[in-house]
Amino acid sequence: MTHEAAPLLTETELAERIRIAVPTLRRWRWSGDGPPFVRVGRCVRYDPAHVRTWLDERTRRSTSDTGAGAA
């Protein structure tokens, strides 16, 4: 059985999926706060599995949760 990887997302596709502005995603990438990305030549792409992991790591149960292990 083979598993085909999901296609990589463009920054526009990812921004639409998580409902943020593209400039916010770029700022996060520049500051290191955003999801892991792949650079293919001059193009930036995002692996959906890595984005899911990044989102899961940020899941909180309350506003007082501060980080790792909070979920």
Q: Per-residue pLDDT tens for 14-41? A: 999 999 999 999 999 999 999 999 999 9
CB 30 within 8 A of CB 38: no
pLDDT at 36: 97
Closest CA to 11 of 55, 56, 68, 21: 21
pLDDT at 2: 58
pTM of the model: 0.79
User: Which residues have a Cβ under 8 Å from the Cβ of 48 and sit 6 or more positions away?
Assistant: 6, 8, 9
Residue reference for tokens 């990438």:
29
Q: What is the dihedral of CA 18, 21, 23, 26, to 10 degrees?
A: 0
**Which 8-state DSSP code applies to residue 8?**
P
